[in-house]
Structure 1
Amino acid sequence: MSSLILHGKRCNLRIISVKLMQNASAFCNSFSSASVVESLGLTTKPAVSITTKGNPDPVLSLLTSYGFTDSQISRIISTYPRLLTLDAEKSLLPKLQALQSRGASSSELTEIVSKVPKILGKRGAKSTGLYYDFIKDIIHNDKDEEEEEEEEGYKSSKCEKICYSLPVGKKGNKIRNVSALRELGVPQRFLFTLLISKSQPVWGKEKFEESVKKVVDMGFDPTTSKFVQALHVVYEMSEKTIQDKVNVYKSLGFAEEEVWEIFNKWPYSLKFSERKITQTFETLKKCGLVEEEVLSVLKKRPECMRASEEKIVNCVETFLGLGFSGDEVVAMVKCFPTCFGLSAETVKKKTEFLVKEMNWSLKDVAAIPPVLGYSLEKRIVPRCNVIKALLSKGLIRGGKRNLPMSSVLTSSNKVFVNRFVMKHGNLVPELMAIFTGDKKGTHHTSTTMKNVAA
Structure 2
Amino acid sequence: MYSLIVHGRRSVDLHKWRNLSVSVQNVFSFSSSFSSYAASARNCRKEQVFTFCYLVDSLGLTTTVAESVSKKASFKDKGNPNAVLRLLRSYGFTDSQISSIVTNYPRLLLLDAEKCLGPKLQVIKSMEGASSSSDRLIETISKVPKLLGMKGDKTISRYYDVVKETMESGKSFKFEKLCHSLPHGMQQNKIRNASVLRELGVPQRLLNPLLVSDHKLVCGDGKFKETLKKVIDMGFDPTSSQFVQALGAVRKLGDKEIQEKVNVYGKLGFSIRDVWEMFLKYPISLRFSEDNVTQTFKILKTCGLIEEEILSVFKKFPQCIGYSRQKIYNSLKTFFGLGFNINQFSMMVKRFPPCLNMSAERLKKRTKFLVKKKNKLMLRKMKWSLNAVASFPQVLGVSMEKRIVPRCNVMKALRVAWRQRKHTT
Residues 166-215 of structure 1, C-alpha deviations (whole Å, 9 max, x = no match):
74254554444323311221111111111224644223222122212211
Task: Say yes or no: does 1:386 pair with 2:410.
Answer: yes
Q: CA deviation at 1:374?
A: 1.9
Task: Tell me how far apart the structure 2 counterparts of residues 163 and 318 of structure 1 sit (CA, whole Å).
Answer: 47
Which residue does 1:376 correspond to in 2?
400
Change in Cα spacing, 1:223 to 1:327, as seen in structure 2 (3 Å) is same
| Residues 11-410 of structure 1 aligned to structure 2 (within 5 Å) | 25=58, 43-47=66-70, 48-49=72-73, 63-81=88-106, 84-85=111-112, 87-88=116-117, 90-100=119-129, 105-120=133-148, 128=156, 131-142=159-170, 144=171, 157-160=173-176, 162=178, 167-170=183-186, 173-197=189-213, 199-320=215-336, 322-355=338-371, 356=373, 357-395=381-419
Task: Tell me how far apart the structure 2 counterparts of residues 335 and 384 of structure 1 sit (CA, whole Å).
Answer: 23
Contact 1:285 1:291 in 2 (8 A): yes
Q: CA deviation at 1:75?
A: 3.1
- Residue identity in the other structure for 1:388: K
Change in Cα spacing, 1:288 to 1:135, as seen in structure 2 (3 Å) is same
Task: Tell me how far apart the structure 2 counterparts of residues 171 and 23 of structure 1 sit (CA, whole Å).
Answer: 43
Aligned length: 358
Task: Tell me how far apart the structure 2 counterparts of residues 256 and 19 of structure 1 sit (CA, whole Å).
Answer: 46
- Residue identity in the other structure for 1:206: G
Q: CA deviation at 1:43?
A: 1.9
Q: CA deviation at 1:327?
A: 3.8
Q: Runs of 5+ in structure 1 lacking a partner? A: 1-14, 28-40, 145-155, 399-454
Give TM-score scaled by structure 1 length. 0.66
Task: Tell me how far apart the structure 1 counterparts of residues 83 and 191 of structure 2 sit (CA, whole Å).
Answer: 32
Contact 2:165 2:178 in 1 (8 A): no
Which residue does 1:406 correspond to in 2?
none
Q: Percent identity?
A: 52
Residues 2-34 of structure 1, C-alpha deviations (whole Å, 9 max, x = no match):
xxxxxxxxxxxxx9x97799889569xxxxxxx
Q: CA deviation at 1:298?
A: 0.4
- Residue identity in the other structure for 1:108: R
Residues 22-76 of structure 1, C-alpha deviations (whole Å, 9 max, x = no match):
889569xxxxxxxxxxxxx98222423389xx97787666544443333333433
Say which is worse superposed, 257-266 or 121-130, in terms of deviation: 121-130
Which residue does 2:29 correspond to in 1?
none
Task: Tell me how far apart the structure 2 counterparts of residues 65 and 386 of structure 1 sit (CA, whole Å).
Answer: 44
Change in Cα spacing, 1:66 to 1:290, as seen in structure 2 (3 Å) is same
Which residue does 2:40 correspond to in 1?
none
Task: Tell me how far apart the structure 2 counterparts of residues 236 and 18 of structure 1 sit (CA, whole Å).
Answer: 39
RCO higher in structure (CA 8 A, sep ≥6): 2
Contact 1:220 1:227 in 2 (8 A): yes
Task: Tell me how far apart the structure 2 counterparts of residues 55 and 323 of structure 1 sit (CA, whole Å).
Answer: 40
1:250 is paired with a residue whose SS is: helix
Task: Tell me how far apart the structure 1 counterparts of residues 365 and 150 of structure 2 sit (CA, whole Å).
Answer: 44
Give TM-score scaled by structure 2 length. 0.70
Q: CA deviation at 1:89?
A: 5.9
- Residue identity in the other structure for 1:94: V
1:249 is paired with a residue whose SS is: helix
Residues 148-178 of structure 1, C-alpha deviations (whole Å, 9 max, x = no match):
xxxxxxxx64415658997425455444432
Q: CA RMSD in A?
A: 3.9
Contact 1:293 1:334 in 2 (8 A): yes
Task: Tell me how far apart the structure 2 counterparts of residues 254 and 131 of structure 1 sit (CA, whole Å).
Answer: 44
1:67 is paired with a residue whose SS is: coil
Task: Tell me how far apart the structure 1 counterparts of residues 65 and 351 of structure 2 sit (CA, whole Å).
Answer: 34
Task: Tell me how far apart the structure 2 counterparts of residues 91 and 320 of structure 1 sit (CA, whole Å).
Answer: 47
- Residue identity in the other structure for 1:96: K
Task: Tell me how far apart the structure 2 counterparts of residues 255 and 328 of structure 1 sit (CA, whole Å).
Answer: 29
Structure having the higher helix fraction is 2
Task: Tell me how far apart the structure 2 counterparts of residues 131 and 248 of structure 1 sit (CA, whole Å).
Answer: 41
Contact 1:21 1:45 in 2 (8 A): no
Change in Cα spacing, 1:359 to 1:280, as seen in structure 2 (3 Å) is same
1:340 is paired with a residue whose SS is: helix
Task: Tell me how far apart the structure 2 counterparts of residues 200 and 25 of structure 1 sit (CA, whole Å).
Answer: 40
Q: CA deviation at 1:388?
A: 2.9
Contact 2:162 2:211 in 1 (8 A): no
- Residue identity in the other structure for 1:72: Q
- Residue identity in the other structure for 2:359: S
- Residue identity in the other structure for 1:362: L
Contact 2:163 2:208 in 1 (8 A): yes
Task: Tell me how far apart the structure 2 counterparts of residues 239 and 279 of structure 1 sit (CA, whole Å).
Answer: 24
Task: Tell me how far apart the structure 2 counterparts of residues 225 and 123 of structure 1 sit (CA, whole Å).
Answer: 28
Residues 373-431 of structure 1, C-alpha deviations (whole Å, 9 max, x = no match):
12233322232233234434544999xxxxxxxxxxxxxxxxxxxxxxxxxxxxxxxxx
Change in Cα spacing, 1:370 to 1:74, as seen in structure 2 (3 Å) is closer
Task: Tell me how far apart the structure 1 counterparts of residues 185 and 166 of structure 2 sit (CA, whole Å).
Answer: 21
